[in-house]
Amino acid sequence: MPNWSVMILATADVQKDHCYWVVTAWGYEQQSKRLAVGIAASLDEVYQQVFSPAVPFVSEQGGLVQNSILVVDSGFRKDEVTDFAKRDPRRVHIAKGLSTYFGPIAEQKIEKASGVVVWNINTMQSKDTLDRLIESPDPLKWQAYPDIGDEYCAQIGSERKIVNPQTK
């Protein structure tokens, strides 16, 4: 984990029969570095990989570093994701994408029905931010995982923003 980072954050994107996950070190001014990426068969496997990885996260000084939060996209298999988040509400939060450009990039709320923390993510602003970080001339803004594979690249590529000329 780089010296400049202030936190580690894991995210998971739930699919029909698997989950993509990524662990990222974040610093000030949206500086980031991917620490690990993977595909898991279940949310329990994601939990194990991001909170108790086989190869622990290590600081540049050599000390072990723990991930603090896992944010799971609830756009697919929402009931399963919500039940999963209820098992460790301090560290597991759910995310919901909002298709708007107005308001904050992310807003934290407590879902009344379940009591879990929900991050409402402004997907339009998020995709613009992701594009700016990837395209930045500063190589420290977007540091990819060294053994990055085609699956991760395809997933990042699928996050492109599609502009509908009818609703522009």
Average pLDDT, the chain: 80
pTM of the model: 0.72
Q: Please report the pLDDT score of residue 110 as a whole number.
A: 76
Confidence of residue 102 (pLDDT cuts 50, 70, 90): low
6-10, 42-46, 102-106, 155-159: which is most confident:
42-46
In the sheet that 32-40 helps form, which strands lie side by side, from edge to edge?
106-110, 117-122, 92-98, 69-73, 5-14, 19-27, 32-40, 142-143
Going from the C-alpha of 57 to that of each of 1, 24, 53, 94, 100, the distances in angstroms are 7, 11, 8, 23, 35
Top pLDDT among 16 and 137 is at: 16
Q: What mean pLDDT do residues 14-28 have?
A: 90
Q: What mean pLDDT do residues 130-138 have?
A: 74
Confidence of residue 75 (pLDDT cuts 50, 70, 90): confident
Structure tokens at 108: 């934290």
Q: Please report the pLDDT score of residue 145 as a whole number.
A: 60
Structure tokens at 20: 């993509």
pLDDT at 80 over 90: yes
